[in-house]
Amino acid sequence: MAGGERLSRWIRLGQSRWPGVEISEEQLSRHLERLGVSAEADHPHAEDLYLACACCERVPSALEAFHRELMPEVRAAARRIDASPDFADELTQAATLRLLFGSSDGEPRLATYAGTGPLRAWIRIAAMRMAMNAIRDGRRYLLVEDEAFLDLPDGSALSPGDRKTRSRYAEVCAEALRAALASLSPRERTLLRMHHLHGLTIDDLAPKYNVHRASIARWIARARDRLLAHTRAEVRAKLELTESDADSILRALYSRIDLTLSRLLAE
């Protein structure tokens, strides 16, 4: 069977296993070539490689399928290391960023999956390693890279040992963030979700809205500014705090706020 015919067969297999996920033969060929995987032979995990390729190409339906069917493996791996729900949530989001979007100086980890085994098992092993490393290093993950929440003055209005007070403040901040997100327009919420949760860049989003990339950048910045301003105002009002104390609380609870934002955007 010729290479082109085999690629067509891979496409058919992939679309059959992952309905609605579509990539071109050129995209698949380029992905396989980068991995050193031959398109000339049958592959036992062709459907998994197809999904991995589509995710690396930022196909929305592929990202949704990945989250729906494969990310539960990460939560299962987290529970084997630490039964805390918060740990599972943090590991899931951190794994999403690393596997699907990588970092500013590296490619997505999923781009290295070469199909030597089932994708589900590959993800489970990767998640176990991340979980064990997190426990070993004693670090906590920052889940959404939103610089607006980091732009706060130093200082803390919290006592780390006062768990009851900290929990109360966390609840108020979560409620404020939910209200702030609800106050945004549907377009603003969608932009934040696609940009922060699904990792689409400004250049990815501009064609979807048929506008210049500078317009997308302004829209996202405006949405984040409104989100932060509304959250600050709600926290100040509910806890009757000064602006500096409200900012200190937001800073002290950054990781909790970050996790809440991730959950809200995913809803």
What's residue 146's pLDDT?
A: 31
Q: Answer yes or no: are the C-beta atoms of 257 and 177 closer than 8 Å.
A: yes
Task: Find all residues with CB under 8 Å of 211, minimum gap 6, and list them.
Answer: none
Spatial distance between the Cα atoms of 87 and 64, rounded to a whole number of angstroms: 22
Q: Answer yes or no: are the C-beta atoms of 202 and 216 closer than 8 Å.
A: yes
User: Following CA atoms 149, 153, 157, 162 in sequence, which dihedral angle do they give, to the nearest 10 degrees?
Assistant: 50
50-62: average pLDDT: 94
Task: Find all residues with CB under 8 Å of 106, minimum gap 6, and list them.
Answer: none
- 196 residue type, one letter: H
pLDDT tens digits along 69-105: 999 989 888 887 777 787 888 888 888 888 988 754 5
Spatial distance between the Cα atoms of 243 and 149, rounded to a whole number of angstroms: 14
Per DSSP, 110 falls in state G
Per DSSP, 172 falls in state H
* CA distances for 99 relative to 50, 70, 177, 192, angstroms: 15, 11, 27, 20
Spatial distance between the Cα atoms of 111 and 31, rounded to a whole number of angstroms: 8
- Is 166's pLDDT higher than 60? yes
Task: Find all residues with CB under 8 Å of 68, minimum gap 6, and list them.
Answer: none
Spatial distance between the Cα atoms of 132 and 87, rounded to a whole number of angstroms: 12
Spatial distance between the Cα atoms of 7 and 5, rounded to a whole number of angstroms: 5
- Is 255's pLDDT higher than 80? no
Confidence of residue 175 (pLDDT cuts 50, 70, 90): confident
What's residue 134's pLDDT?
A: 73
- Would you list the domain boundaries of the chain? 3-69, 72-137, 147-266
248-256: average pLDDT: 61
List the structure tokens of 154: 């130093």
- Is 141's pLDDT higher than 60? no
What's residue 54's pLDDT?
A: 95
Confidence of residue 68 (pLDDT cuts 50, 70, 90): very high
Confidence of residue 157 (pLDDT cuts 50, 70, 90): very low
What's residue 199's pLDDT?
A: 67
pLDDT tens digits along 188-230: 888 888 776 666 778 888 888 888 888 888 898 888 888 888 8
- Is 132's pLDDT higher than 80? no
Confidence of residue 158 (pLDDT cuts 50, 70, 90): very low
What's residue 137's pLDDT?
A: 57
Q: Answer yes or no: are the C-beta atoms of 145 and 208 closer than 8 Å.
A: no
What's residue 259's pLDDT?
A: 57
Q: What average pLDDT does the structure give for the chain?
A: 78
Spatial distance between the Cα atoms of 20 and 154, rounded to a whole number of angstroms: 48
**pTM score over 0.85:** no
